[in-house]
Amino acid sequence: MTYKLRVLSIILTAVFIFSFTACAVPKTATETTMAETTVPETTAETTAAETTAETTAKTTTEEEFEEVLCTRVIDGDTIEIKDYAGKVFKVRYIGIDTPENGDNYFEEAKTANEELVLNKTIKMYKDVSETDKYGRLLRYIFVGTIFVNAYLVENGFAMASTYPPDVENSDYFAELQNKAQSKGKGFWGIEIVETTAETAAETTVTETTVTETTQPSGQFVGSKNSDVYHYPSCHHAKKIKAENLITFNSIEEAKAAGYRPCKVCKPPG
């Protein structure tokens, strides 16, 4: 019995010593290096990704904007600018349309534009197109924190007018126009003078706002100073002065003359 106890004691002692020795063995240099470098490598990759995203965003913003001087205001949606090289360009505001020279509210829209940008340093950026068919630069305009295109629509000096592919802010402009209309801002608040055939003779042409009753027969109407055709009942059609009024008997006739459909009354086309 004593012999068996001694053998069991020796076996238990050997097992204890082996277990203690195994737990006490330190990590090898290779194991330590891998464990210590794994986290820093992952952190470095994450940091690089975040830095790249921030840098790209800032770089894109800076590159998009052109800083120029507005030297002349032509009308409510067109200006003349001079870049730092001294070159002069005409710029057409993207996504909006203001009254043409000779139409009601032309002067008010032009004046509003002058107060915003004339003789000021402005920032501008393009959408998709560089220029329109007339060679004018197509741009969104900012003065300080004021988004000029949007301001003119929001206050009833311009209406939203979308020309693909330059549609980045089309929904925003349409929303602002709806608000301006509902609040009667700018030309949306003009009281239309109803002129009948009997009273037309008593009113000078320049003072008469054209309405359906004074318009010549025709399915669509337009202004000589614009390239848009309307239904005769359209709000904008009613603002066309008699001397500038033209009529079209068909969509084809209007298009052949270089006119496009109104974005408000939306005639066919």
Query: Mean pLDDT, the chain, as a whole number?
Result: 76
Token pair for residue 55?
């840098």
Both tokens of 165, joined, read 């592919």
Sequence ranges of the chain with CATH classification 2.40.50.90? 66-188
Residue 62: predicted pLDDT: 59
pLDDT of residue 12: 58
Closest CA to 93 of 138, 146, 134, 144: 138
pLDDT over 60 (residue 192)? no
Q: Where in the chain is the domain with CATH 3.40.10?
A: 192-261
Alpha-carbon span 186 to 107, nearest angstrom: 12
CATH code: domain 192-261 is 3.40.10
Output the pLDDT for position 224: 84
Q: Name the architecture of domain 66-188.
A: Beta Barrel (2.40)
Categorize the per-residue pLDDT at 227 as very low, low, confident or very high, splitting at 50, 70 and 90: confident
Instruction: List pLDDT tens digits, range 119-163.
Output: 999 999 999 999 999 999 999 999 999 999 999 999 999 999 999
Q: pTM for the full model? A: 0.55
SS3 content of the chain, % helix, strand, coil (to 5): 45, 20, 35
Q: Residue 15: what pLDDT?
A: 56
For residue range 41-99, list pLDDT tens digits in order.
333 333 333 333 332 333 335 568 999 999 999 999 999 999 999 999 999 999 999 99
- Residue ranges of the alpha helices (H) in the chain? 2-24, 29-64, 106-117, 148-154, 170-183, 197-200, 251-256
Q: Which of 152, 212, 160, 207 is nearest to 185 (CA)?
A: 152
